[in-house]
Amino acid sequence: MAYSLYSAIPKKPLNSIFISSPNFIFSTVNKHIPCVTPSIFPCLGGYCTWVSAVSSSVAETEEHLNRHASPGIVAKEYADLNLPERFSEDVGNLRIRQHVNPLRRGLMIPAEAPNWKEVFEDATLPLMVDIGSGSGRFLMWLAKRNSSSMNYLGLEIRPKLVTRAEYWINDLGLKNAHFISTNAMVSFQRLVSTYPGPLMLVSILCPDPHFKKKHHKRRVLQKPLVDSIVNNLAHGGQVPARSF
């Protein structure tokens, strides 16, 4: 069974089957809808690219499900990016830790907001934030196709993934994508509240479910983060989320 989370528009709900109040809506899907289905999310004005882009989120799903069984599946999904396999002596061949405790003391320190004018070529463009951006290929895929219409920010708790993603961004020459190594649970508000442009999309794709009851407190979707997303989302914005 899969659960889909859609965000409402603060104060001014739109006429949409997915949007009906200033609160978040959880909808239960009786049969598994794979991430490759592009029609899951409605279109929003000039942001229809998101609808077709959702098809590529299957790679991030497979990255979690097949990390050890088939490590090359994600690279194959995004082969058109032509990203190098070996890229940095500092990071090398990555073996990613699958589970991270976000409540660890060192991860509870909020990240400082960057100088957005240095990070993005045009810091006034609409912003998409991907919480738990993983390898970053999904955001790079989007950024490459929307280089002049939207900025993309990936928040990832595992620093080696961010180091590699930043290397790839430079290699691709992307001026509208950036990654920050941080715990989104404690840094989201500080980061997005300082961004000059509107926050239009916040994606949470296949987060760590932390199945054990004693670990539920580690789940990224906690009330403070949800409230922060709702309070910062621009009118017309959306928050698509997918579980496994």
CB 58 within 8 A of CB 77: yes
Active site residue 90: no
Integer Cα distance of 237 and 244 in angstroms: 24
Integer Cα distance of 5 and 204 in angstroms: 9
- DSSP 3-state of 59: helix
Integer Cα distance of 205 and 133 in angstroms: 8
**Torsion over CA: 141, 34, 27, 156 (sign):** negative
C-alpha distances out from residue 219 to 67, 160, 169, 183, 215, Å:
20, 21, 28, 11, 7
Nearest to 8 by CA among 241, 225, 222, 238: 238
Integer Cα distance of 52 and 40 in angstroms: 10
User: Which residue is catalytic, options 90, 130, 171, 208?
Assistant: 208
- Active site (catalytic) residues: 208
